[in-house]
Amino acid sequence: MRVLLTGAAGFIGFHVAAGLAARGHEVTGIDHLGEPHPRLKQARLDALGSSIRFTRGDVTDPERVAGIVREAAPAIVVHLAARAGVRDSLSAPFAYLKANEFGHLCVLEAMRRHAPGARLIYASSSAVYGVRHDGPFREEDRADEPASLYAATKRANELASAAYARLFGLRQIGLRLFTVYGEWGRPDMAVWSFADAVLNGREVTLYDGGAARRDFTDISDVVAAVIAMVERSGFDHHEFPHRIYNVCGGASTSVAELLGMIERACGRRAVVRERPSPPGDTPFTAGDSGRLRADYGITTSPDVAGGVERFVAWLRNSPEAMRSARDE
């Protein structure tokens, strides 16, 4: 299949690109390679080598996106480019709105005009479920009380996609991803930043005593879901050509428990600095992945301890990735 992948130099984009290329798909990747962590993005691209075709481009440039879609003539677009992470959306609201909402619209418009028969798989987020204290969250649950601008932009993506499905019959899948972790991950996220700090004897900042709970999702499960969706047009049988899927590991783990797993994997105790929870953070996530299992036969892994061990082994053996992430 010919696949156009936005955000190809990002954490999830890198793994999706590698997974699709390994299965013989023809991948064209786009990324603007901008902040944050431009060196890490370049290192990911270097690791992908010639397995994909890469074009530097900004998804908020409508002409550029239209040109790339026209030229790549994809059967599938996987749209992952965005400003990710809740906390920065408070300090950079305009950048988030532009990258996430305007960027998504640029992709929808380019597809409508130049690839109307192609399918779109795009990243939404568990953040759309807002502040909740119990779960598991199901796709049909309410998602109209976002706790951050980031969450609001992701919900706006879902609504714009629903409108384009209704208006133009554009076939789409939205993935509500739950806290993804794994090799080549994001240095701003807990798994990387805790492991880096513990391995190097630096302080770990723990919000609210690590009480927040997250449904941590192994990157390999996200890749498996995207591959299944690329290779099978499974949602064609649904009446409405836009469908949302939770992609989650299936276990809710507290951040304090996660730190314990990281300490065991590193063989060292953490030096902890406690802080109150920052605004925008939610106390709890736990997803129900029954829809993903039913429609695509994907079973996700709740083994966070095993995934953390693999991540720490990778980080120990990746001094260049560690350095490049910390220096920028």
Using the rule CB under 6 A, is 41 a contact of ligand NAD?
yes
In the complex with ligand NAD, the residue whose CB is nearer, 80 or 173, is 80
* Residue in 32, 104, 119, 214 binding ligand NAD, rule: CB under 6 A: 32
Using the rule CB under 6 A, is 7 a contact of ligand NAD?
yes
How far, CA to CA in Å, does 320 sit from each of 40, 42, 191? Answer: 9, 12, 18
Instruction: Return the DSSP state at 234.
Output: G
State the Cα–Cα distance between residues 254 and 209, nearest whole angstrom.
10
Using the rule CB under 6 A, is 99 a contact of ligand NAD?
yes
How many C-alpha atoms does 291 have within 13 Å on its Cβ side? 21
How many other CB atoms are found less than 10 A from the CB of residue 185?
Answer: 25
Using the rule CB under 6 A, is 214 a contact of ligand NAD?
no
Using the rule CB under 6 A, is 171 a contact of ligand NAD?
no
Size of the site for ligand NAD (CB under 6 A): 27
Q: Find, among 245, 255, 196, the residue nearest to 221 by Cα.
A: 245
User: What is the H or E stretch that residue 40 is in?
Assistant: helix 38-48
How far, CA to CA in Å, does 236 sit from each of 153, 157, 171, 176? Answer: 26, 21, 8, 19
* Residue in 3, 4, 5, 10 binding ligand NAD, rule: CB under 6 A: 10
Using the rule CB under 6 A, is 282 a contact of ligand NAD?
no
In the complex with ligand NAD, the residue whose CB is nearer, 97 or 273, is 97
In the complex with ligand NAD, the residue whose CB is nearer, 61 or 237, is 61
Using the rule CB under 6 A, is 174 a contact of ligand NAD?
no
Contact 191, 308 (CB under 8 A): yes
Catalytic hit among 122, 150, 164, 181: 150
- Interface positions, 42-71, toward ligand NAD (CB under 6 A): 58-60
150 assigned to active site:
yes
Using the rule CB under 6 A, is 82 a contact of ligand NAD?
yes
Using the rule CB under 6 A, is 161 a contact of ligand NAD?
no
Q: Find, among 283, 314, 301, the residue nearest to 192 by Cα.
A: 314
Using the rule CB under 6 A, is 186 a contact of ligand NAD?
yes
Q: Find, among 295, 181, 289, 309, the residue nearest to 234 by Cα.
A: 295
State the Cα–Cα distance between residues 295 and 180, nearest whole angstrom.
21
In the complex with ligand NAD, the residue whose CB is nearer, 58 or 263, is 58
Q: Which residue is nearest to ligand NAD (CB)?
A: 10
269: helix, strand or coil: coil
Residues annotated as catalytic (active site), given as ranges? 150
Binding-site ranges for ligand NAD (CB under 6 A): 7, 9-13, 31-34, 41, 58-60, 80-84, 99, 103, 123, 125, 177, 179-180, 186
